[in-house]
Amino acid sequence: MNPPRPTELRLKRAEKLLDITFEDGTRFSLPAEYLRVESPSAEVQGHGPGEKKIVSGRAFVGIIGLEPVGNYAVRIKFDDLHDTGIYSWSYLYELGVEKDKRWRAYLRELAAKGLSREPTRSS
């Protein structure tokens, strides 16, 4: 069974959110930071199982644009210049469904590695 397709994607730049409504009526409001740290790009996910990298310092990241990719996905362009992840409709749905679980795991991993959501300050 195929996951539902989105019927609306609404970028809320000021709130740093992507609101998505799917054809089954499910709605998700996904923060830019969450989308950035869960990017499907090889830079974040690696090239195989167990290679996922923890992305820190993105508490204030925003989205500067969305670019359709065929009829199956969207490329999200972030203001930290990351734009290589292609977010399929099924991956966006998965991110919405698993948001709380994934976010808790992300925060635990940051803490375990002594990293922060806050950007590092350059002196």
The residue type at 46: G
Say if 81 falls within a structural domain. yes
What angle is formed at CA 77 by the lines to CA 22 and CA 58, rounded to 5 degrees?
100
106 closest CA partner among 70, 58, 62, 68: 58
Say if 116 falls within a structural domain. no
The pLDDT, as a whole number, for residue 46 is 81
Say if 119 falls within a structural domain. no
44-97 tens-digit pLDDT: 888 877 888 999 999 999 999 999 999 999 999 999 999 999 999 999 999 999
The CATH code of the domain that includes 18 is: 3.30.2020.30
Say if 122 falls within a structural domain. no
Helix 89-97, helix 99-112: angle, nearest 10:
80
Say if 82 falls within a structural domain. yes
For residue 22, what are the domain limits? 6-111
29-49 tens-digit pLDDT: 999 999 999 999 988 888 877
**Count of structural domains within the chain:** 1
Residue 69 phi, psi (nearest 5): -125, 100
Say if 94 falls within a structural domain. yes
Say if 121 falls within a structural domain. no
For tokens 């590695």, what's the residue?
Answer: 113
